[in-house]
Structure 1
Amino acid sequence: MRTFTKFLIFIALGTLIYLSFSTLTPTKNYYGSDKAENFSLTRALQHVKKVAQEPHSIGTEAHSKVRNYLVQELQKLDLEVHTQKAYNLNASGIFTAPQNIIAKIPGTNPSSNNDLLVLTHYDSAVHSSYGASDAASGLAVILEGIRTLKVQQKNFKNNIIICFSDAEEIGLNGAEIFVKKHPWAENIGLVINFEARGSGGPSNTIIETNTGNAKLVEAFQNADIPYPLATSLMYSVYKVLPNSTDATVFRENKNIPSFFFAFIDDHYDYHTANDTYERLDRKSLAHQASYFLHMIPYFANTDLKSLTTKEDYVYFNFPIAHFVKYPFSYITPMVFLAWIGFIGLIIYGFRKNKLSVRGIGKGFLNFGLALLTLVFVGVFGWKLMLLLNPEYVENLQGFTSNGHAYIAMFVCLSIAIIFFIYRKKFKNPTDRNSYFITPLFLWLLINTGIAIYFKGAAYFIIPVFFALFSLWILFRQKQPNPWLLLLLGIPAIFIFSPLIQFFPIALGLKMLSITTLLCLLLFGLLWPIFANYNKKHFISFMALMACGFFFIKAQTKASFSEENQKPNSLVYLADINKTKAYWCSYDQILDTYTKRFLTEESLMQNTDNRVFHSKYNSGFTFAQPTEYINIPKAYIEIKSDVDSINKGYTNYRLKILPKRNINRMELLLDRNDTLTKVKANGETQKQLPAKAYKSFLTYYAVDKDTLNLSFSLKNNKPAKLSIYEASNDLLDNPWVHVPPRNKDMMPKPFVLNDAIITKQEIALP
């Protein structure tokens, strides 16, 4: 193969990799027309801008403003709108009074269990997120999408129910009151839910169902979505992860299937003060819109009852073919056929002297060395980056603002290592062919495991078939056509290239070991292309230079700045019983702001390290005694009596009335192994936390409600109840005076932050 041809092949390979990403989403101008009959991204963005003007978590004044705005916008669309408000105590002990916004577009021929629900939430994450992506983007797509459909005067057979749920961010409480208490929930056949877990990137499609997915997958394909990013890999991954959305509540409680769409890139913005209108990726919004404009008209005219089946499909998106699917029943035969083909080719190769035992052995050693090296690099390389940049520990999401540079760096380093290990020139085609056996064998082992344990990824076998055909060509031709080999490598490129980036984005940069491993596995499938490159050491050197470039790029953006703000935390905790107070922080590293209140010698033994309910179960790391301020404490009234039915138990009834504007109340017992019959304002908790001194109730206050709590406790030993009241007004209150943060800092998300917390401890009679 001539040098110029090799260069063109390399350029073509890079172009294909680029296309594997660029073809996933529409451009930001995809919905650029502002004509009334067309969906307009400009109009949708105006909704985002309005909703995301300020943080609007449940119970805040801004939250009420957003609700009023949404009601008015739905009314402008000539829809009859109502709100649903009710108390809800979920299985995790989170109690609040969400208020959903609900409307209906009547269908021309509705039938039972056939209503289509379009869903997103309107509360932002507690306490400082502006919620532009999560989930003002969903609100905007639905509002502009409904407007577009009404202007186009499209008629739909099914009723379309619109629900802007509340309290999603604290525990899916709004979805739960809709499912359990709203009469319209009884007639829903399918849920379409819009979400976000970052501020950019392609929007992934997730199917939630208690049964098989086959009919849902067929319907998704029939909806003719222009950019259908959907794979059964994600379907299987989501099933084993602890994450859930509002749609999960419908599946678990009413057996209602759903599609939900979420973009997850720029994960460092998730739930932070940087989830703003300006940082929302316009392409991501356009991608969400494309789902809405094709899914809603299709499913609003579909018999939703027909979507139930026991059969599952393997499915994945692919350019040109658009969307590929086949039954799970094909998985085992396809893997078996691939093994037969592989064994047959090996027999043929030895008979025709196209393979050698020595060459296969050398190929195994090279691939094994590359495998061990890259796993080591992926695991310990990121740990080295953490040693170089200890401040990264403050990003609880696990993905830094320069995370994409690190992904590129580790990809380039992987390429450098691979090509260095494979730098030797081949004197005869036998070694070239023999080296291909090891990656093919490993891929077949992987697909065998997938067929048994993780069927959603079974489409990984398809590039293996193309690779087996490439091996056949290597056997048949001494100088195979490089363009044909590139053509046969396209399935591997389009299927695996996006995954190299996906896992560290979705699961955090600690998963860079998956990136390095996938680089090697993809190289293995593309071996026929690279086998005839004689100057692999030059490619290795260039990749190493690129690695250095991305390392420098990452490091120059590693320090916190106004563009890349440091998350930090500070709370004032007053122990009313002991008349002591503390400055507390969740940070691992103190900065110039927190050092005004805390010292490096602050010891946690100075106060109880309570782990308040949070996404990552974070506890205080620093606590510094400070001046005690007499902050108004809650009025608490306790009544008790011996349980006449369950002997040995005492029934307690508490009335707790906050005397200041609080956002949250946390209740803990020093023992709860025998805690039963928990009720809050009449709502029953069906599942109780099992660990001792864990919060058994987290109350997000709405409208200054009184908390009426009742529970039963075994009379085996005395018990103490601790009540923590928190208001997210540390920077704006009449008691303590805390200056604003520096511009290169922001409130740390996922924890109880910027709060004044009071603790009252009560001995239960």
Structure 2
Amino acid sequence: MLEVLHSLANLSTPLHHGIVFLFNGAEENVLQASHGFITQHPWAKQVRAFINLEAAGVGGKEVVFQTGPENPWLVQAYVHAAKHPFASVVGQEVFQSGIIPSDTDFRIYRDFGNIPGIDLAFIENGFIYHTKYDTANRILTDSIQRAGDNILAVLKYLVMSERLADSSEYRHGNMVFFDLLGVVVVAYPARVGTILNYMVAMATFLYLAKKASLPGNGGESLFSLWFVTLLSVLIVALLVTLLGRSMFWYNHFYSSICLYGAAATGKMILVHTLAKNLYYGGVRLVELGELYFDVSLLLWCCSLVWLTQQGLCSAYVPMLMVAFPLATKLLLAKEFKHRGTHSIYMYINCKCIALLKKKKKGIF
């Protein structure tokens, strides 16, 4: 905040709007400082928007995990200005659901000041946050640099924006937003997302219904595979909990993907192979690839419909997991027909893209 303040103070271009830098204390004691400012300070009534800096870890990329409420222009400001974007509406909906036992000044400004804003937080190495190992030497300079680049760029954009003069005029609806590989942020209105989700779900169900009507497709084993796969993942989770490693997924995220993903994939292949060998006289890679693809597609499509009906913007996640593999399958239908194992490879590749992240460095 001090470095951003220094940079803004030395700009040659005059700012269209003022900026208040608020260094809060008493945060861990029911957010008293932010509440005192927004309810008692004479400057509070002049504030039109805010950027709240938080931490649930000691470094990494600072993620945009709350915006608004219902001020899509703030999301658009971040989309246009942030140099190293990292944002997801999933974080917003998970946090606001109350599942995570935490709170931020965002709630104070929103509820007591009726002010829209953006909530940013470091989340990496959260298992040492607020412990005796949470020391200054563990804070990565790259993380501070990245946050400074983003916050300075977004602030410059906002203080020059005409929308900041009366932000209430632009308060309408929620936004679906997420970054792609930390390079660009995709953002669109929630109502557009609802239409898109139902279109993808309808196309998927039509595809599966048409395929299930074909003779000898093995579709009767879809639900059994679904059940056994879910059961295997729950068993792994139970074992991890009994071993006293229930937070294993938090400090070893990619290892947990391998652990649960390998269990699910292995169980699906095993059950399908046994079923085909026992009841259908042998299994072919073409059939195995097709069935794996269909089961995965059905799982994600059911999640897509349910989340959309709940009015959650997070439905974009299963939408992507359905739309890209299905589009790939339909575009390369002839190739899949002759070389069915590509169904597995292409589907896995489409999902793995979302897991790729890049680390960037810079200087003020």
Deviations 1:248-306 (A, max 9, x none): 21111110111121112212322223221211123322232122121111111113123
Question: Is 2:64–2:87's contact at 8 Å kept on the other side of the alignment?
Answer: yes
In structure 1, the partner of 2:207 is 345
Q: Could you tell me which of 229, 236, 243 is aligned with 1:370? A: 229
In structure 1, the partner of 2:309 is 452
Q: Which has the higher contact order (CA 8 A, sep 6+)?
A: 2
Q: Could you tell me which of 172, 183, 191 is aligned with 2:31? A: 172
Q: Is 1:324 matched with 2:221?
A: no
- Distance of aligned partners of 1:361 and 1:473 in 2 relative to their CA distance in 1, 3 Å threshold: farther
Unaligned runs of 5+ in 2: 274-281, 358-364
Deviations 1:517-562 (A, max 9, x none): xxxxxxxxxxxxxxxxxxxxxxxxxxxxxxxxxxxxxxxxxxxxxx
Q: Could you tell me which of 470, 475, 483 is aligned with 2:328? A: 470
Q: Could you tell me which of 209, 218, 222 is aligned with 2:80? A: 222
In structure 2, the partner of 1:112 is none
Question: How many angstroms apart in 1 are the aligned matches of 2:263 and 2:247?
Answer: 25
- Give the residue type in structure 1 aligned to 2:33: G
3-state SS in 2 of match to 1:149: helix
In structure 2, the partner of 1:442 is 299
Which has more helix, going by share of residues? 2
Question: How many angstroms apart in 2 are the aligned matches of 1:452 and 1:325?
Answer: 20
* Larger mean Cα displacement after TM superposition, 431-440 or 444-453: 431-440
Question: How many angstroms apart in 2 are the aligned matches of 1:288 and 1:159?
Answer: 21
3-state SS in 2 of match to 1:201: coil
Q: For 1:35-50, list aligned pairs within 5 A.
A: none
Question: Is 1:198–1:266's contact at 8 Å kept on the other side of the alignment?
Answer: yes
Q: Is 1:356 matched with 2:203?
A: no
- Distance of aligned partners of 1:318 and 1:484 in 2 relative to their CA distance in 1, 3 Å threshold: farther
Q: For 1:523-672, list aligned pairs within 5 A.
A: none
Q: CA deviation at 1:417?
A: 2.5
- Distance of aligned partners of 1:426 and 1:323 in 2 relative to their CA distance in 1, 3 Å threshold: farther
Q: For 1:464-503, list aligned pairs within 5 A.
A: 464-473=322-331, 475-477=333-335, 478-479=337-338, 492-495=351-354
Question: How many angstroms apart in 2 are the aligned matches of 1:383 and 1:272?
Answer: 22
Deviations 1:107-146 (A, max 9, x none): xxxxxxxxxxxxxxxxxxxxxxxxxxxxxxxxxxx11122
Q: CA deviation at 1:186?
A: 0.8
Q: Is 1:384 matched with 2:242?
A: yes
In structure 2, the partner of 1:247 is 106
Deviations 1:26-81 (A, max 9, x none): xxxxxxxxxxxxxxxxxxxxxxxxxxxxxxxxxxxxxxxxxxxxxxxxxxxxxxxx
Question: How many angstroms apart in 1 are the aligned matches of 2:2 and 2:297?
Answer: 50
- Distance of aligned partners of 1:153 and 1:274 in 2 relative to their CA distance in 1, 3 Å threshold: farther
Q: Is 1:287 matched with 2:149?
A: no
- Distance of aligned partners of 1:415 and 1:166 in 2 relative to their CA distance in 1, 3 Å threshold: closer
Question: How many angstroms apart in 2 are the aligned matches of 1:403 and 1:428?
Answer: 36
Larger radius of gyration between Structure 1 and Structure 2: 1
Q: CA deviation at 1:190?
A: 0.7
Question: How many angstroms apart in 2 are the aligned matches of 1:466 and 1:187?
Answer: 46
Question: How many angstroms apart in 2 are the aligned matches of 1:489 and 1:446?
Answer: 18
Which has more strand, going by share of residues? 1
In structure 1, the partner of 2:264 is 418
Question: How many angstroms apart in 1 are the aligned matches of 2:191 and 2:49?
Answer: 26
Question: How many angstroms apart in 1 are the aligned matches of 2:301 and 2:7?
Answer: 49
Question: How many angstroms apart in 2 are the aligned matches of 1:209 and 1:420?
Answer: 42
Q: Could you tell me which of 232, 243, 251 is aligned with 1:404? A: 251
TM-score normalised by length of structure 1: 0.41
Question: How many angstroms apart in 1 are the aligned matches of 2:263 and 2:311?
Answer: 30
Q: Between Structure 1 and Structure 2, how many residues are aligned?
A: 339
- Distance of aligned partners of 1:229 and 1:403 in 2 relative to their CA distance in 1, 3 Å threshold: closer
Question: How many angstroms apart in 1 are the aligned matches of 2:103 and 2:216?
Answer: 52
Q: Could you tell me which of 87, 90, 94 is aligned with 1:233? A: 90
- Distance of aligned partners of 1:200 and 1:483 in 2 relative to their CA distance in 1, 3 Å threshold: farther
Question: How many angstroms apart in 2 are the aligned matches of 1:320 and 1:276?
Answer: 27
3-state SS in 1 of match to 2:86: coil
In structure 1, the partner of 2:278 is none
In structure 2, the partner of 1:306 is 167
- Give the residue type in structure 1 aligned to 2:181: P
In structure 1, the partner of 2:196 is 334
Across the aligned residues of Structure 1 and Structure 2, the Cα RMSD in angstroms comes to 3.0
Question: Is 1:188–1:256's contact at 8 Å kept on the other side of the alignment?
Answer: yes
Q: CA deviation at 1:209?
A: 3.2
Q: CA deviation at 1:181?
A: 1.5
- Give the residue type in structure 1 aligned to 2:202: I
In structure 2, the partner of 1:721 is none
TM-score normalised by length of structure 2: 0.82
Deviations 1:227-252 (A, max 9, x none): 21111112212222253222321111
Question: How many angstroms apart in 2 are the aligned matches of 1:275 and 1:331?
Answer: 40
Question: How many angstroms apart in 2 are the aligned matches of 1:413 and 1:454?
Answer: 31
Q: What percentage of aligned pairs have identical amino acids?
A: 23
- Distance of aligned partners of 1:281 and 1:361 in 2 relative to their CA distance in 1, 3 Å threshold: farther
In structure 1, the partner of 2:279 is none
Question: How many angstroms apart in 2 are the aligned matches of 1:323 and 1:376?
Answer: 37
In structure 1, the partner of 2:120 is 261
Q: CA deviation at 1:442?
A: 1.6
Q: CA deviation at 1:474?
A: 6.4
- Distance of aligned partners of 1:442 and 1:383 in 2 relative to their CA distance in 1, 3 Å threshold: same
Q: CA deviation at 1:486?
A: 5.9
Question: Is 1:167–1:173's contact at 8 Å kept on the other side of the alignment?
Answer: yes
- Distance of aligned partners of 1:213 and 1:484 in 2 relative to their CA distance in 1, 3 Å threshold: farther
3-state SS in 1 of match to 2:20: strand
In structure 1, the partner of 2:54 is 195
- Distance of aligned partners of 1:222 and 1:497 in 2 relative to their CA distance in 1, 3 Å threshold: closer
- Distance of aligned partners of 1:219 and 1:381 in 2 relative to their CA distance in 1, 3 Å threshold: same
In structure 1, the partner of 2:362 is none
- Distance of aligned partners of 1:454 and 1:280 in 2 relative to their CA distance in 1, 3 Å threshold: farther
Question: How many angstroms apart in 2 are the aligned matches of 1:340 and 1:403?
Answer: 35
Question: How many angstroms apart in 2 are the aligned matches of 1:244 and 1:428?
Answer: 50
- Give the residue type in structure 1 aligned to 2:150: Y
Q: CA deviation at 1:483?
A: 8.5
In structure 2, the partner of 1:28 is none
Question: How many angstroms apart in 2 are the aligned matches of 1:345 and 1:485?
Answer: 17
Question: How many angstroms apart in 1 are the aligned matches of 2:86 and 2:239?
Answer: 31
Question: How many angstroms apart in 2 are the aligned matches of 1:222 and 1:319?
Answer: 16
Question: How many angstroms apart in 1 are the aligned matches of 2:343 and 2:255?
Answer: 30
Question: How many angstroms apart in 2 are the aligned matches of 1:320 and 1:356?
Answer: 44
